[in-house]
Amino acid sequence: MRLVRHLAGIFLLSTCVLAAAPGEAVKRTLLVEVTGIPAKEQAKGARFDYSDYNRVALLSLVRDRAMLLATPAEAEALKRDGYQVTVIAENPDELALYRRAFYGASLKLPAPYHRYDEIVARADELVKLHPERIARIQIGETTQYHRPIYAYRVSSDARHSQPKPGVMFNGCHHSDEVMGAEIVFTLLQKLVLEYGTNPEVTAWVDRCEIFLVPVVNVDGHDIVTSGRDPRWRKNARDVNGDGVAGVFPEGVDVNRGYDFNWAMGGTDRPEKDSYRGRHPFSEAENRAMRHLAELKPFLLSISYHSQGEVIYYPWAWGAQAAPDDALLREIAGEVAAKIPTMSGGGTYAVSPGGPSSQSYVWLYGRKGDFDFIIETGKGTHLFAPEEVPGIIAANLEGVRALMARTDGPGLAVRVTDAATARPLRAEVWLPRIENETVDRRATESEFGCYWRLLRPGFYELIISAPGYEPAVFPGLVVAPGKWTNLDVRLQPSSTAK
């Protein structure tokens, strides 16, 4: 995810770029490794600033090691300036240099990364071994190649939906940010295999329905993990309609395709990284995630991206914060404080994100889900194999902090028909919190249940459903600690037919 497209890296080698004729692009034919880069030269605005990779010169900067594209003159200038420079490869084919930079000498994505079919095969094994614990649900298929997109439900009885809070973890809206898939895949196995032996995991699974989508952008993920193109970020849609898909930089940015302030997000230029498509939910991948959110309302969720070691929460919308800003910041801070950075010198940062077209603002603004984007790792989107276990372990500590919140405090509501005891889909409105920037929240139809994280205190609550008299609670007390339960029986309206 690139919330800010920082361009400093484009001018990384500005002191040594050869003069080119007007309108002539610099042709960089060398892949160069620079090691021993001091921290001060990695700072924002410095020569090796990696706010985000730009695909022009600086490709990655992990710890004190950079990989970059250069002309022969630029490489020589770096050497003259005292840098430790090694030419890794020379090739006029830019894609060949990118593949060598990100895949290594084998030109294949190395272990411990996984292809999607490997993830599905292992998950299917777990479904067969533990059908009571994990169930596979197809939530949609991909736009271009119609591959299935799977979610996995882990619960104390995964064969049936249950009246429990929902939590969701997803990875790879952006196909080159493969670390998200590895984190979610590892978490899926941990939840299933440690149930009954790990008291903490057992409590999570007993308390919640946990949904995991290891890969949202399956087609794009395959382009990256197959070794074809490590630059690929979008899905594989044949945007120009010429019948040839998978030609860089075609595709649609799946994380700019949601219908919350859609026109404010991304760009309408198909060649750009953040092309948002022709209309909201134009992409089947977005529709799959919408389908999942309609199957199960989520209390909390995490969408994993790379890179930056920061957690984004909804939202910075001009001068207006989200209705739940204080609580969102608090939870994001709790999760961030548990995730150590790769350097070991601190923990992840926290920041409000933008208000437009992305999964986390859509899930919060439309669905009432406290969703957080976690930018995992620092300095690249495809990390060297030795870095992967540490990043996964660090982010699993963040999962622990998030799951601790599933025990409250907050409001647990169940709404039924007073005459028949039938569960009702009812609007649950906290008028002193929720303003018109967000959609009204509601109970789920099957069980009439609704969970809402809140700080302890006094609240005004209004519960209503068509054909029923509303229930008003002007001084509802949410207690510290665990959930405050509220059983509401709505009376049919005397005017209802």
Q: Are 312 and 360 in contact (CB under 8 A)?
A: yes
pLDDT band (50, 70, 90) for residue 497: low
End-to-end CA distance of the chain: 51
> d(Cα 155, Cα 202) in Å, to the nearest integer?
9
> 18 pLDDT exceeds 80?
no
- Per residue in 338-360, pLDDT (tens digit) is 999 999 999 999 999 999 999 99
CA dihedral sign, ordered 186, 189, 193, 194: positive
The confidence band for 11, taking pLDDT boundaries of 50, 70 and 90, is very low
Q: Residues near 81 by Cβ (< 8 Å), separated by ≥ 6?
A: 15, 16
Residue 494: what pLDDT? 82
| 186 within 8 A of 396, measured Cβ to Cβ | yes
The mean-pLDDT minimum among 6-10, 21-25, 44-48, 441-445 falls in 6-10
Distance CA(255)–CA(172), nearest Å, equals 9
Res 163: pLDDT: 97
| Inter-CA distances, 380 with 65, 83, 111, 360, 485, Å | 11, 21, 17, 22, 45
Backbone angles phi, psi at 387, to 5 degrees: -85, -20
**Burial class for 156, CB neighbours closer than 10 Å (0-12, 13-18, 19+):** middle
Beta carbons of 236 and 219 less than 8 angstroms apart: yes
The CA distance from 204 to 147, in Å, is: 31
Asked if residue 251 lies in contact with residue 237, where contact means CB atoms within 8 angstroms, the answer is: yes
C-alpha dist (Å) from residue 83 to 33, 38, 48: 10, 10, 12
Q: Which of 410, 469, 479 is nearest to 441 (CA)?
A: 410
Pick from 298, 253, 304, 300: nearest CA to 280: 253
Across the chain, mean pLDDT equals 93
**Plot region of 421 (φ>0 → left; ψ -120 to 50 → alpha; else → beta):** left
Structure tokens at 382: 């495809």
CA distance 293 to 356: 18
The tens digit of pLDDT for each residue in 81-123 reads 999 999 999 999 999 999 999 999 999 999 999 999 999 999 9
Q: What is the pLDDT of residue 423?
A: 98
Q: Which amino acid is located at 321 in the chain?
A: A
Is residue 3 scored above 90 in pLDDT?
no
Q: What is the mean pLDDT of residues 365-391?
A: 97
Q: Is the confidence at residue 1, as pLDDT, over 70?
A: no
4 band by pLDDT with thresholds 50, 70 and 90: very low
> Positive or negative, the Cα torsion across 215, 218, 223, 229?
negative
pTM reported for the whole predicted model: 0.94
Per residue in 169-209, pLDDT (tens digit) is: 999 999 999 999 999 999 999 999 999 999 999 999 999 99
Q: Could you say which architecture CATH assigns to the domain 8-103?
A: 2-Layer Sandwich (3.30)
Options 1.10.260.40, 1.10.1060.10, 3.40.630.10, 1.20.1440.80; which CATH number does 116-406 get?
A: 3.40.630.10
Pair 120, 213: CB distance under 8 Å: no
CA distance 384 to 402: 27
Q: Between 484 and 3, where is the model more confident?
A: 484
Domain layout of the chain by residue ranges: 8-103, 116-406, 410-490
The answer to whether 489 and 470 have CB atoms below 8 angstroms apart is no
Residue from 134, 166, 117 nearest 292 by CA = 166
SS (H, E, C) the chain: CCCCCCCHHHHCCCCCCCCCCCCCCCCCCEEEEEECCCHHHCCCCCCCCCCCCCCCCEEEEECCEEEEEECHHHHHHHHHCCCEEEEEEECCCHHHHHHHHHHCCCCCCCCCCCCHHHHHHHHHHHHHHCCCCEEEEEEEECCCCCCEEEEEEECCCCCCCCCCCEEEEEECCCCCCCHHHHHHHHHHHHHHHCCCCCHHHHHHHHHCEEEEECCCCHHHHHHHHCCCCCCCCCCCCCCCCCCCCCCCCCCCCHHHCCCCCHHHCCECCCCCCCECCCCCCCCHHHHHHHHHHHHCCCCEEEEEECCCCEEEECCEECCEECCCHHHHHHHHHHHHCCCECCCCCCECEEEECCCCCCHHHHHHHHHCCEEEEEECCCCCCCCCHHHHHHHHHHHHHHHHHHHHHHHCCEEEEEEEECCCCCECCCEEECCCCCCCCCCCEECCCCCCEEEEECCCEEEEEEEECCCECCEEEEEEEECCCCEEEEEEEECECCCCC
Mean pLDDT over 476-487 rounds to 96
What is the CATH number that goes with domain 410-490? 2.60.40.1120
What's the whole-number mean pLDDT along residues 1-26? 42
Q: Is 24 left (phi over 0), alpha (psi -120 to 50) or beta?
A: beta
